[in-house]
Amino acid sequence: MALEKNRQGIGFDFQKGLISSVVFDGREIGAKPTDIFSLRLTDKTGKTIDLFSRDARKVQVNEGAKGTTATYSGFLEDVAVTVFVFEEKNGINVRFSVKNATDKIVEHIEPLPLILKPFIKNGGIGRMLFPYNEGALVENDDLRSTSHLKHLEPKYPTVTCCGLFPGMLCSQFMAYLCGNGGLYIGAHDELRGPKEIDYYAIDEAKNIQTEIRLYSGKSYGEDFSTDFDMVYRFFEGDWQDGAEIYKNWFYEHLPKGLKKVKNNDKLPDWYTDFPIILTYPVRGYHDMDEMTENELFPYINILPYVDKFSKATGARIMVLLMHWEGTAPWAPPYVFPPFGGEEEFDKLFHALKEKGHLLGVYCSGFSFTEQSNVLPSYDCKEILKDKEIFRAFCAGRDGKVLRSTVCEGQRSGYDICVASDKGREILDEAYQPLFDKKLDYVQILDQNHGGSQLFCYSNEHNHPPCVGDWMTTEMKALLDDWNAKAEKTLLGCESAASEPFIQNLLFSDNRFELTHFIGKAVPLYSYLYHEFVHNFMGNQVCNLLPAASYLYRVAYSFAAGDMPTLVLNPKGYIQSYWGQRDLGDLPVEEDVLTFLKNLRDFYMENRDIMCFGNRVKTTRYTTGEITYRNDLYARSYTAEEVLTAAYELDGRKMQIFVNYNKEPKTIECGEKTITLDPFSVVKIEL
């Protein structure tokens, strides 16, 4: 069967169990034939067996009016896999069903593992729209494969920076772009269960292997069926057109209870008031520093800076504390009482409230610290002498509890499973005092990117011994409970909240700067979800770019509809990013504050559409480019001199252009020539 309509289609050789071709706009974009599926079985010892469609010794194919059904059996293991392929406009939908007569678990199935031609900067034709940390457009695999964010297989103990949804991936799709369009690959799963959605180069030619894993959540000997469609669509246009396919599905299948910002009465008034986030530590200068109090302790020492930044910009300030925990920095789950005592902490809280400002804190998610590595005096070894507590932790299939791989520089310990009764008890006990403070904001899930749950195979918890939908369900239940306890305190996570948890984590620390390691940042997250959630620029940790890029990054966040962040060092200087060691390369404070004032003025003048509007496709425009270089990493990053975004509300469409430079910049948009003043925003009505 071959889908050749409009010179595009996916070709199948069902008898051989192969995908024979992928054609778009009349040319082959597939690099080589590949299996229609692969399947992983796992036994009780953790030993895995991978089966491939091409290895089936028996194949039964039935052609129908709407598509094809093919059943594969006769493998070395007693399973039968049925593939359902249905033709749709501009593509196909695919489902799978597995009959499992073994004593093993169907761990996951990989549908249509397409091998596509290399990226354009690797001698090929393609780019990948990847929903990684708010969105990346990848055109050179060398960037990612030589970085610390290279492709990693999801596994236990959980590796948080892999291509996992929900997690660092916000959405359930990716799109391969080539020429004037491309191929959309999406999982239209209303349960929004865990799945890997990723890619990697497989050979010297750097052909691109797409890798999607649909986890079963089943037990030993159980059958498995996908109850949602894998959707493959050819489309014309740019990355925004590919994203529209997923966006249309999302709007038709919203997570239960999700409300648009304009209809969400649980949001505080400051949410639509363009607050500026001011983050800094009260101990040390960076995460691996000596953890002694610095110049910004006692807490009230920040007040002169709050006054200065508020006066210069006209904005409310949210103080977002780091290293404030009375235990040790980044040593979850216990955080209270605050470093220096509650009385000192409360002085700041009350002083900020009196002036109309806000207070938030960072926390570190679902790890259980045995030993702090930055504050050796803090440990939980006495608590861990009670071996019953290990029943709260994520375990492997053999029942062994391995140490967490998250933030090993700052701490050593274990990961907590939220489906464990004991785990929930520990987390609730640790964070209840924080909820009782009624702060404005708590980034309670730093390190749990996107609000992700952690892999656990324990047979002592209330969940199947396999990754699956139960993880999203359990995480959602926990967050619902925390929202009720926190009341008006907004909760957030590291990286923007992944799709199933948006209504729980309504203000989060974006991580778009990490996409600079793998490609070009594109505002995919806000393009999909801006009507439902706003976030903030984030502390920019691991930023790759020099301080000269700081205003570009502020502008990028603003265009996406997110709030700006100032990272302050204890000497009172604005840093380029959190963790910066070279304090000789800092942003120019006067320029930063001038730009922030202009951004806030524009936002408040256009608040309804900027705050409540839907992101829509931008009109093409031409602008110059700026290249930022990092000699340490031997990297460069090219950005547009003027950034743009388009919003729509109640029939009104507006496109904005943001000049973050100290000089005027001129752009062409349609028949219009527009000159932007330094540090300015202009709009056109569409």
Q: Which residues pair with 636 in a beta bridge?
A: 629
Determine phi and psi for 243, rounding to 5 degrees: -65, -30
Is residue 561 within 8 A of residue 524, CB to CB? The reply is no
For the cut 80, the answer to whether the pLDDT of residue 14 exceeds it is yes
Q: Which residues pair with 9 in a beta bridge?
A: 23
| pLDDT at residue number 3 | 39
Mean pLDDT in residue range 144-151: 95
For 291-309, how does the pLDDT look when each residue is reduced to its tens digit (9 = 90+)?
999 999 999 999 999 999 9
For 55-111, how does the pLDDT look when each residue is reduced to its tens digit (9 = 90+)?
999 999 999 988 999 999 999 999 999 999 999 989 999 999 999 999 999 999 999
Q: Using 50, 70 and 90 to split pLDDT, how confident is the model at 2?
A: very low
Closest alpha carbon to 245 in 256, 258, 236: 236
- Please give the torsion angle defined by the CA atoms of residues 546, 549, 551 and 554, in that order, rounded to the nearest 10 degrees: -100
| pLDDT at residue number 357 | 99
Question: Taking the CA atoms of the chain, what radius of gyration do you get in angstroms?
Answer: 25
| pLDDT at residue number 5 | 54
Crossing angle (nearest 10°) for helices 469-486 and 421-436:
30
Mean pLDDT in residue range 499-523: 98
Mean pLDDT in residue range 153-160: 91
The whole-chain average pLDDT of the chain stands at: 97
Q: Using 50, 70 and 90 to split pLDDT, how confident is the model at 6?
A: low
For the cut 90, the answer to whether the pLDDT of residue 469 exceeds it is yes
**Tokens encoding 428:** 């609730």
Mean pLDDT in residue range 332-346: 97
pLDDT above 90: percentage of residues in the chain: 95
The enclosing H or E element of 567 equals strand 565-568
For the cut 60, the answer to whether the pLDDT of residue 358 exceeds it is yes
The structure's pTM equals 0.97
Q: How many Å apart are CA 9 and CA 123, to the nearest integer?
A: 23
Mean pLDDT in residue range 596-623: 98
For 171-182, how does the pLDDT look when each residue is reduced to its tens digit (9 = 90+)?
999 999 999 999
For the cut 90, the answer to whether the pLDDT of residue 134 exceeds it is yes
Q: How many Å apart are CA 510 and CA 450, to the nearest integer?
A: 9
| pLDDT at residue number 632 | 80
pLDDT above 70: percentage of residues in the chain: 99
Crossing angle (nearest 10°) for helices 303-313 and 589-605:
60
Q: How many Å apart are CA 227 and CA 425, to the nearest integer?
A: 33
For the cut 80, the answer to whether the pLDDT of residue 15 exceeds it is yes
Q: Using 50, 70 and 90 to split pLDDT, how confident is the model at 130?
A: very high
Mean pLDDT in residue range 108-116: 99
Mean pLDDT in residue range 14-34: 97
Mean pLDDT in residue range 565-573: 97
Q: What angle do CA 497, 211, 639 make, to 5 degrees?
A: 55
Q: Using 50, 70 and 90 to split pLDDT, how confident is the model at 634?
A: confident
Token pair 């290895």 is found at 55
| pLDDT at residue number 497 | 98
